[in-house]
Chain A
Amino acid sequence: MAATKHPQILFASDLKLGDVLVLGADGWERDLRKAKVAASAEEAAQFEAFGKAEIAANRVVDVYLADVEIVGGAPQPLHYREKMRAKGPSVRRDLGKQAQGDAA
């Protein structure tokens, strides 16, 4: 299997609600710590294929892979943009996933 430069997880937005989702072992999750990690190009391609099918099924939108590192056994986004999505606004800690206990 071809390794990717970094492990990756699949982000999406819920169609009805608009909030941030990640692909987990049993489907879409709102808790970033439950994200399934693609360690190879083949796994990443499978994730993307699943995402496309979910878009076609009108469950999610804006699906894309993001690089992560594994910290304490859980994936942490490498880019600050996805770190922001994983938590919520840095200027309103009372809102977003960070307020719901779903932050990575």
Chain B
Amino acid sequence: MNAHDPQLSHGSNAPDTLYRYDAFDAQFVRERVAEFREQVRRRLEGSLTEDEFRPLRLMNGLYLQLHAYMLRVAIPYGTLSARQMRALADIADRWDQGYGHFTTRQNLQYNWPKLVDTPDILQALADVDMHAIQTSGNCIRNVTADHFAGVAPDEIEDPRPTGEFLRQWSSAHPEFSFLPRKFKIAVTGGAHDRAAVKVHDIGLRIVRNAAGETGYEVIVGGGLGRSPFIGKVICDFVSRADLLAYLEAVMRVYNRFGRRDNKYKARIKILVHEKGIDAIRAAVAEEFEQMDRAPYAHDGAEYERIVASFATPPYESLPKDSAVLESARVANKDFAQFVAVNTAPHRVDGYAIVTVSLKPIGGIPGDATSEQMRALADASERFGFGELRISHEQNVILPHVKKDDLFALWTLLREAGLATANAGLISDIISCPGLDYCALATARSIPIAQAISQRFSDIGRQQEIGKLGIKISGCINACGHHHVGAIGILGLEKKGQESYQITLGGDPTLDASLGELLGPGVTADEVPDVIEHLVAFYLAERHDGETFIETWRRLGHARFKEALRREGEDGADI
């Protein structure tokens, strides 16, 4: 099968609103699968050593982890069709352990594939226009985007066509396949940043200039990991026509001047930090001026082709409010909570954006069973034009649900164990796999998330606390984004034991800030108590309508630190 196969199943409620591979894309991915199949064969027969093979498998998303290989599948700009979600479920059942893990980079990870099966898995992905190319290695990784793309009321423009343009530009780019380090790009088109653009190597904000033209604010040098930095604006407006050439210039400057002598200082954030944003801006401007920009000239026809492939679904003309929804809310308290917490305003009257939480109380953040994936595919086809999104918060989004259908959707989700009403609340915790799976981890992170989730399991209490982002990483690489958690938790090894550092005040949005350390590390058992005390202090001190991060900013870090110290003196074992 390929992208144009007539056997593609699309129900009447599943129009083409997603980018579909053209003949070039399909052939490229098929050839990569065949190439990797041959590389695996040569590895197994001994023609390739592990040192020779490792970079090849990594460029195809295959890692060796703690218990098994791990395959990381790209979900470009976080968008999936129902058909693709079903294929992911089928792969989980046929070649893995019946589940997948959605990550903070809008990818899906299989934790148990066998090397000998990987070419077949990649072929199954290619059959539904998917791949694992450039989900690892020192190259430009999967381009991520706002998970509310195309439906958010605050949006200037859908960021996904830009994301697809960048995917095509960066895939197998010959100059940028061996960068000093990995390189991550995120795009947002909204006034509110849901894509964490300020903590990416390059963040793009779609903006309008004084003349009303649409273009891009380009942010560089953000990143988390060992040395976290908030990105800096290198250019406040790059026209669409110049975007690829400008990014090419940024990449060339990084490729030329980025450090290769020390992997911990090799990201562009270090280059920007050491040279200064003004020097980098000047170097990029010089490169941009002198380079041959013709190969990167804007291809308006191709851009329009891509834009057209993200067609607006055939929305019905509906009133803004739904009487069906209102009566269901009155009749069912659990449903009313779900609607209050897990739905967001849509740009079209009568529709809502639904966040399906992959954070059941006490569950593993981001994990979904194959049955749940199929339930989500079914739900998207019945209620959402067959389209799904993966958020960097490790949840699934149904972006086009009629308000009239919300109760039926909720019923379906509840039967699949997917109706937890906690989107954005304290139990909606971002967590990396940590030492339960990851070979780089220094401590477990999932059990910490589970313990906090169970401690705050009461949904009423969660709603009383309000929006509060807890983010947990099992090592300094910060895949769990702990630096930008209002409460961040970092698992480390201390004297042969797992130990957890807690930070406060992180924020991934346009008001981006990095968390500040609360104090010495605590044990896993102590973490929920610390969170409990922090929340109690916040609830006691907050002004009306203030979120945790707003109270922390008003009072200052020292007040929270002091409050926790006093609790410790009062006998709490922290």
Contact = CB atoms under 8 A, between A and B. Distances in A.
Q: Do A and B come from one complex?
A: yes
Given A61-B50, A90-B444, A85 B67 contact: yes
Nearest to B435: A84
A13 B43 contact: no
Given A80-B435, A85-B67, A90-B447, A18 B114 contact: yes
B11 interface: no
B496 A15 contact: no
Contacts of A61: 50, 64
Interface residues of B, number: 27
B26 interface: no
Interface string B370-400: 0000000000000000000000000000000
Contact of B114 (A16, A88, A97): A16
A81 B435 contact: yes
B415 to A, nearest CB: 22
Task: Specify which of A18, A57, A81 lies most central, judged by the most chain B CB atoms within 10 Å of its CB.
Answer: A18
A34 to B, nearest CB: 18
Interface in A52-75: 55, 57-58, 61-62
A18 B66 contact: no
Interface string A1-36: 000000000000101111110000000000000000
B364 A91 contact: yes
A90 B491 CA distance: 15
B498 A96 contact: no
Given A16-B114, A20-B67, A95-B112, A80 B498 contact: yes
Contact of A16 (B115, B436, B496): B115
Contacts of B66: 20, 81, 84-85
B371 to A, nearest CB: 15
Contact of B436 (A20, A79, A92): A92
A88 B67 contact: yes
A79 B435 CA distance: 12
Given A81-B435, A85-B66, A17 B496 contact: no
Interface in B244-291: none
B114 A89 contact: no
A100 B7 CA distance: 40
B490 interface: no
Nearest to B45: A58
Given A16-B44, A58-B44, A80-B435, A89 B115 contact: no
A96 B97 CA distance: 10
B112 A91 contact: no
B452 interface: no
A15 B44 contact: yes
Given A18-B114, A84-B435, A91 B67 contact: no
Find the residue from A19, A80, A88, A89 having the highest chain B CB count within 10 A.
A89
Contacts of B344: none
Nearest to B497: A80
A90 B436 contact: yes
A24 to B, nearest CB: 19
B435 A18 contact: no
Given A15-B115, A16-B44, A91 B446 contact: yes
A89 B496 contact: no
Interface in B56-81: 64, 66-69
Given A20-B67, A58-B43, 14 more contacts: A15-B50, A16-B114, A61-B50, A78-B496, A84-B66, A84-B435, A84-B436, A89-B446, A90-B436, A90-B444, A91-B444, A91-B450, A96-B67, A97-B67
9 contacts: A16-B116, A17-B68, A18-B68, A18-B114, A57-B46, A80-B435, A81-B66, A84-B66, A89-B437
Interface of A: 13, 15-20, 55, 57-58, 61-62, 78-81, 84-85, 88-92, 95-97
Which 4 residue pairs of A and B lie closest in terms of their CB atoms, listed nearest first? A18-B69, A89-B436, A18-B68, A58-B46
